[in-house]
A and B are shown apart, each in its own frame.
Chain A
Amino acid sequence: MYLPVSDNIQNNQVNRMKESSPDHSLMPPCQVACPLHMDIREYVDLVAQGKIMEALQVIRNDNPFPSICAYVCNQPCEEACRRRQVDKPVAIRALKRFAVEFGGDRMIQAKAKTTHSERVAIVGSGPAGLAAAYYLRKLGYPATIFEADSEPGGMLRVGIPEYRLPREVLDTEVQRLIQMGVEIRINTRVVSLDLLFDMGYQAIFVAIGAHQSLRMGIEGEDNSGVIDGATFLREVNLGLKPSLGKRVAVVGGGNVAIDAARTALRLRARKVSILYRRSQAEMPADHVEVEQALEEGVKIQFQVAPIRIKGGSKQLSVTCVRMELGEPDASGRSRPVPIKGSEFNEELDTLISAIGQAPQTPGDFHVRVGKDSTIQVDPVTLTTNRLGVFAGGDAVTGPATVVETLATGRLAASRIDDYLQHRYPVTSKEERETLTGDLLPETIEMIRKTERLEPPILPPEARAKGFEPVELVYDWESAINEARRCLRCGMGAEILFQDKCATCLTCLRVCPYHVPYLDDSGTIQIPAEQCQACGICVAECPAKAIVLRNPYDRRHITEELDYVVKSAAQSKSKPLIIGFCCQYGLFGTGTLAGLWRGAKTGIWIVPVLCVAKVEAEHILRAYEMGAEGVFIAGCGEQCTRENTAFWIRQRVEKVRRTLSQIGLEPERLETFNLAATDEDPVKALDKFTEKIGGLHLISVIMQEVKK
């Protein structure tokens, strides 16, 4: 009755498509910025389609502990997100949290088989150590973690307050590692690496973190009312109750200072302030954390530093001095300079110093230690001066973010694998080209502005009462709408077949974003860093010379149509109506979800990633497959792209003209737009179904009459 697609396509075209199957999509800035190089664009896109399980799968490909990152990641990806140039970056971390929670991450069983006999010891169970253990197990090595504290997790356990990372999340990950066969020895402080080698371990990964607080170096620092930030948080997090007065001040401007201040507030300190010697702009702490601290009632005094502490326990008189900002120092930030005669006194009960931390490596490790007591390693191989000893995490870099240490943990696992298998470490994988460059003003102007949806958070009053997680999870609809804001950078169109291009300028004329241009030599160019991947030029190019950079995008609709054909053949029921439905937003997962894959008799759905990609030929092919009616359901005004409805109308009219030339009623082709109809789309579709049924009946009768 009909022929499969590839059947009649000219041979050289098939060959060319095969040649073209390599992925030409560029690595987007978010992925470049992520220390783990997670495929963010892909999982955000899957969330936008409501495919949460698939999104989680993509997340788990590159991240050993996505649940942890979903809570505490400092989201460098959002810093790099190009949506920032249009309005605000996509809320990537919150979307990951949604995927992790709704995708059922805690149910996932991790499995690992032991395929190697060489045992690896990991000193420290912080994020670096846990990640290294995870990947070493995946590579088939027996791995043992040694942890000095009474519970595993390192800074995740003793540094990060519970309101930022619920402990059951960490426990789940640890439990999963144990399931994978990782041995975790708690309360075991390693004092000598020789001992580990004697025990039969063939490689050691030192990831002892940076737990030693730096001293302020001022008079009265050893007063009993003064406590250091790391110790304070550790005691609180291990369930000890450090004595804390009513009036608390925290010295420092990093995340530890904020964590300490907010924790003090939760321990019922009445007045909590932060003393920071520079201004807010220089503050290294995550700005969201700073805002939340302010909301909860923490006061921050900028350009203030303590210089002297007097008094006994519970009664401190701290002399502070105001600062002015001078020339930039080595860190690139302005150097604070004390203002003469600006001294003032603060009456406090407790002073928490959180001005930085350094690693404390036991001398018996015999590893070379450099600046700020950090362990010196080769940055590529992570090897120390001792054979078989590798190091990573905060112990090497000084205090860093969780995601950075996870990345070194992963790197360490593969380097240890190289070492144990006597392989020369491969320094750089062949990676995809990265997308660079900013959006042009004329492109930005045409991109629809959509508000960034923040996940709900507990109100400040409720937060300060205890250690409940501050941030909550998106609901289904908000998550999908937030994910749809992604610009899908680097996935755009390219002129793949320059020999076919007739330089007809159709792409230049149809692009809603003014992206294609004629270069000086008169060749048409579609710059990847501007293209919004809407697919309009791909569907309109009369020479079929333009394709989307991602091979899956190129094949998607054709493959889904084929799938419908196959399914219909198996079910032996001829498809009566074929509908091209946008898979994004509400049509994909909400309104028309009930029609999914022939759930309703005779209606077969071809999911598409924006109806702008449905070509006139696709519509005709649906009739070729025997459909009596075809409909296209798009998001209408809710579409995140420009001009979608206009181009669909153009193609629909073209097909309708052809239908009437064949003697078929143009009403056999219909479009539904979410916002356009006041009518419930499901009801509109029911009407359409009824009409098509009627038309079909009439044509059958007419044929009988003719006979």
Chain B
Amino acid sequence: MIVAEQKPLEEVRRMIAPYQRVLILGCGTCMTVCNAGGEREVSFLHSALKVAQLKSPNGTHTFSEYTVKRQCDPEFLELLVDKVADIDAVLSLGCGIGVQAVAERFPDMPVLPGVNTSFLGMTSEWGVWDERCAACGDCRLDDTGGICPITRCTKGILNGPCAGSKNGKCEANKDMDCAWILIYKRLERLGQLEKMRRYYPPRNFRTIPRPKRLMSKANTDLGENDG
């Protein structure tokens, strides 16, 4: 899941300052789950903006609110056609993808990001999310016992642990587990400690370009020479 947090209210207010009629647009998937931009957060922000306007006015605004199931799918955005007809800007509480999808669908409409998209992560308990994936495009979790050193090691090193590991904790943050100690223990448990002996060359960021587009559908558009 994509995890984000709402931007500070002041920043939001600065962004919306030039626009009078603002649609606060929530997203019903990841942003709902991480309490950053679901229907509840939309109405909370709506209320907060109104209180702010009351106590320290900066321009006149009218707000409307709406939440779509997923901002990153253009079909869901068709539901917005009527809603954006009489507004001046969309304040999107979708992740960075959502903001761009809305901007793409409504090219004449300013779309403002209401959240800072932070990482790919999981819920550890109610109200707490931890980063688990850097979307590096070169997954080696089979070698590291299902524990990602890129996200969970402060340095993101591929051959750990480093000398900063103390009592299983990281030197940079004593509350944080050393990812490489976790990897060691997990490999020990799996009987695969030999994987610790291997050397993993540094990732080549030049030869692993980010894919930019993925397709699960078969490419049937193959041109005239094809059978």
Contacts and interface: CB of A to CB of B under 8 A. Distances in A.
A binds B: yes
Interface of A: 1-3, 8-10, 499-500, 502, 504-506, 509-510, 541-544, 615-617, 620-621, 623-624, 626, 650, 658-659, 661-664, 699
B123 A662 contact: no
A662 B11 CA distance: 11
Interface in B5-49: 8-10, 28-29, 32-33, 35, 38-41, 43-44, 46-48
A543 B47 contact: no
25 contacts: A1-B54, A2-B54, A9-B43, A10-B64, A10-B65, A502-B28, A502-B38, A504-B32, A506-B126, A541-B40, A542-B35, A542-B38, A543-B67, A615-B40, A617-B40, A620-B44, A624-B50, A624-B51, A624-B54, A650-B127, A658-B9, A658-B51, A661-B9, A662-B51, A663-B56
A662 B125 CA distance: 29
Interface of B: 8-10, 28-29, 32-33, 35, 38-41, 43-44, 46-48, 50-52, 54-56, 63-67, 69, 83, 123, 125-127
Contact of B126 (A510, A658, A663): A510
A662 B56 contact: yes
B33 A502 contact: yes
Contacts of A510: 126
Contacts of B66: 10
Contact of B44 (A1, A8, A616): A616
Contacts of A9: 43, 65
A617 B44 contact: yes
A623 B39 contact: no
B5 to A, nearest CB: 12
Closest 3 pairs (CB-CB, A-B)? A542-B38, A620-B47, A661-B9
Given A542-B41, A617-B44, 6 more contacts: A1-B54, A8-B46, A10-B66, A650-B127, A661-B8, A661-B10
A397 to B, nearest CB: 55
B28 A543 contact: yes
Contacts of B50: 2-3, 624
A664 B48 CA distance: 12
A617 B56 contact: no
B40 A542 contact: yes
Contacts of A505: 123
A662 B52 contact: yes
Nearest to B123: A505
Given A620-B51, A624-B51, A662-B56, A509 B43 contact: no
A663 B48 contact: no
Contacts of B127: 650
Residue among B9, B46, B51, B125 facing the most chain A CB atoms (10 A cut-off)? B51
Given A502-B28, A542-B39, A543-B39, A621 B47 contact: yes
Nearest to B45: A658
B40 A623 contact: no
A407 B48 CA distance: 54
Given A542-B38, A623-B54, A658 B64 contact: no
Given A8-B46, A509-B125, A502 B32 contact: yes
Contact of B63 (A8, A502, A626): A8
Contacts of B63: 8
Contacts of A664: 55
A413 to B, nearest CB: 50
A431 to B, nearest CB: 34
Given A541-B40, A544-B40, A500 B51 contact: no
Contacts of A544: 38-40, 43
A305 B12 CA distance: 88
B55 A663 contact: yes
A543 B38 contact: yes
A38 B86 CA distance: 52
Nearest to B11: A661
Contacts of B125: 509
A542 B66 CA distance: 14
A658 B52 CA distance: 9
Contacts of A10: 64-67, 83
A510 B83 CA distance: 34
A226 to B, nearest CB: 73
B40 A543 contact: yes
Given A500-B39, A510-B126, A661-B10, A542 B33 contact: yes
Contacts of A541: 40
A8 B62 CA distance: 9
